[in-house]
A and B are shown apart, each in its own frame.
Chain A
Amino acid sequence: MWRSKKSAVKKLGYGALLSIFLWAGQAWAHTPLCSCYDNGDGSITCEGGYSDGSSAAGVKMRVEQEDGVVLQEGQMNATSEFTFDKPAGAYKVVFDGGEGHRIEVSGKDILE
């Protein structure tokens, strides 16, 4: 009985350790990526994803003025793309995949 309890504790311990290891591993292997392109027709398309190839579908996207005022909001579609109308003034695009997974792309860096 004692042996089996100890064994259970051991298993739990290893499980916890494994969880930490996996979590740490995922954080490292999971860098967010977002690039935006001017489509030349008054619209901008941003492509998102992660460095391990996983999908960014559903990630929140915002188009903001430089002072943080939100101009447009949406999310990455099923193919991890977000297309919006190009604002008239200065702007930035925020890929908001949560803490540690946030990227800002300045409008002036978005080229055809």
Chain B
Amino acid sequence: MKKFVSALVCLAFLAPAAPALAHFQIIYTPEMAMKEGGKIDLALVFSHPFDAGHTMDMGEPEQFFVIRSRGENPPQKTDLLKTLKPITWTSLTNSGKAWETNYAVRGGDYIFCLVPQPYYEPEEESYIKQNTKLIVNVGGEPGAWMEPVGLPAEIVPLNKPYDRWTGNVFQGKVLLHGKPVAGAEIEIEYLNHEPLLDEKAFAKKAAVAAPQEAFALQTIFADDNGIFTFGIPKAGWWGFAALGLDPAYTYKGKKCSQDAVIWMKAVDMQ
């Protein structure tokens, strides 16, 4: 009984925190696997992708860069922080400060990496910092998509995030300072409302409806080696956020959730 009461008390503290953790840092460009190179548009938005709900104000990112790799050539890093322009992104319920840029790509893998300014969550009296990766490819020639890029917290994909068929699995390894995080908690959301870059807004129409809240935000755990596996049920973009990877991490004297986010896209076999 004592244990049961303790569990209830713990639950009471945890329960209000759960919805607040469903934030997702998005790096979006319309296509992850391009046939040809050219200039691509990118938007950085901090929101709730399944319901296109409340969009949080982003501060000026700490880092935004891209690592290009093609075949056996050594990867090359380019700083993109100064190319970012502030925009206002409209969700279905509000507007929030976001960022946009564009970048010219040729062949190979491009790993776009964002280290955002921590976001203060007043209800939690704590910060959230989602280190985010988006990997796109041009022309099909692979590069170093499977290599860590050295973010404080990151998800390293074990499959190309841009070549998944619907029904494949997606696997990733959760790292904190380069070391696997055993049992890391990972939240998964479907990008249910298409981001419309011209309108700087989410499309109003949802692709799918969740029968219940648990389906909108799925939770899985990594194994002892920090590896997780997800079966992909539908074509489109899926976001994976490994949460609170460094319990001791603080920002401006307050607790800060050091998270790692990665995006993948699946397409239907036709």
Contact = CB atoms under 8 A, between A and B. Distances in A.
A2 B71 CA distance: 49
Contacts of B38: 111
Given A47-B107, A51-B142, A37 B37 contact: yes
Interface residues of A, number: 16
A33 B108 CA distance: 10
B73 A33 contact: no
Contacts of B121: none
A80 B71 contact: yes
A33 B37 contact: no
Contact of A80 (B36, B70, B139, B142): B70
Nearest to B142: A53
A53 B72 contact: yes
Query: Interface on chain A toward B: helix, strand, loop, or mixed SS?
Result: loop
Interface residues of B, number: 16
A56 interface: yes
A65 interface: no
Given A47-B106, A47-B107, A111-B38, A33 B72 contact: no
A49 B70 contact: yes
A54 interface: yes
B31 interface: no
Contact of A51 (B70, B72, B141, B143): B141
B167 interface: no
Interface of A: 31, 33, 35, 37, 47, 49-56, 79-80, 111
9 contacts: A35-B106, A35-B138, A47-B108, A49-B70, A49-B108, A52-B142, A53-B72, A55-B71, A55-B72
